[in-house]
Amino acid sequence: MEVAVESYSKVVAMAPLHLEARLSLSTLQQQLGRPQRALDALEPMHDPDTLAQDAGAAQQELKLLLHRSTLLKSQGRPDDYTDTMLTMLAMLLKVAMNRAQVCLISSSCSGERHLHLIKVSRDKISDIDDQEAAYLDVIGKTSVLSREDWWQLLLDTVMVLCQRMRFAEAELLVDSSLEYYSFYDDRAKRKELEYCGLSAAVLDRNYRKAYSYIRLMLMDSVERAQLWNVFNQVTLHSQDVRHHRFCLRLLLKNPEHHALCVLNGHNAFVSGSFKHALGTAGGRGDGDRALCRLVIVPVISLSPSLS
């Protein structure tokens, strides 16, 4: 095996862009118990300018990054693993990140440099004249992986960011992914991304952002009690009143919805009109349900003063 390592090392030295030689050398070094040398064999082969212009070089780099990510994960190096995953996704989501005003930067923390996603202002983003052509160019360069493979890689990265307590970056990654046509046009994937965004926003205590997600979900599935539970928690922590108008509009479309009647009655009571609160809570449902709501609203509203 040592002879093979020496042979592949010579090949890599003479032809540093020989992908197969690099992959074989890395595998042999890992099998010999030399994890760092295995990673050294998978160092980047091309500079950013070459990757931007050469589809073949981009595909080679992706294959190398994919092997590097697998190696880093097996070695238990989560930060470096996350860097590699973000690098790959940045190649796929180049145009989408531009639209979402998200950039991938390298910054130093505790003496180590790692990659991070940040939100930037529009004037710091270079405009892409023909976004459709740029999107097709990205598709060609990233065809190494299937759409489902990219989707799984994206979900894994969102999960890793949350595990590393990098919730704001998970939100930005979801924002960028929702700007990517292949994911957004697939309704199932779009809904899963929205759930990921909601979870990351709540964990980040970004309740204004969480409200934007839960609002869309309720408009699509007004009968799901779990969503109303989340909605109440989000509006409770956000200390915002934007949801008052949303609840009123939704009530017009769903006049017999029990939770909406109670919420609108409570909102009206908080606004200072007890008479209006009772009228709203009563709604237009059957007598028993309306009576129940008329009792619930005063009890809920007066409960803080009774405790």
Per residue in 220-250, pLDDT (tens digit) is 988 888 998 999 899 888 877 788 788 888 8
The pLDDT value given to residue 149 = 93
Cβ contacts of residue 202 below 8 Å, gap of 6+? 210, 230, 233, 234
Residue whose entry in the numeric block shows the structure tokens 């509006």: 235
Pick the closest to residue 265 from 239, 240, 291 (CA basis): 291
Pick the closest to residue 235 from 204, 187, 267 (CA basis): 267
Rounded Cα distance between 20 and 8, Å, is 10
What average pLDDT does range 16-29 have in this prediction?
91
Pick the closest to residue 183 from 128, 135, 134 (CA basis): 135
Confidence of residue 200 (pLDDT cuts 50, 70, 90): very high
Rounded Cα distance between 157 and 38, Å, is 23
Pick the closest to residue 264 from 274, 277, 253 (CA basis): 277
Confidence of residue 258 (pLDDT cuts 50, 70, 90): confident
- The verdict on pTM exceeding 0.85 is no
Contact between residue 261 and residue 251 where contact means Cβ atoms under 8 Å apart? yes
The pLDDT value given to residue 138 = 80
290 pLDDT above the threshold of 90: no
Cα distances (Å, whole numbers) of residue 2 to 16, 24, 35, 232 = 20, 13, 15, 63
Rounded Cα distance between 210 and 171, Å, is 10
What average pLDDT does range 19-28 have in this prediction?
91
The neighbouring-strand residues paired with 117 are: 104
Query: Is the torsion defined by CA of 180, 128, 169, 200 positive or negative?
Result: negative
Cα distances (Å, whole numbers) of residue 97 to 80, 120, 134, 206 = 21, 10, 12, 20
Q: Which of 47-56, 123-132, 282-291 has the lowest mean pLDDT?
A: 282-291
Look up residue 272 and give its DSSP letter.
T
Percentage, residues of the chain above pLDDT 90: 44
The pLDDT value given to residue 273 = 56
Look up residue 284 and give its DSSP letter.
T
pLDDT tens, position by position, 78-112: 999 999 999 999 989 988 999 999 999 998 877 78
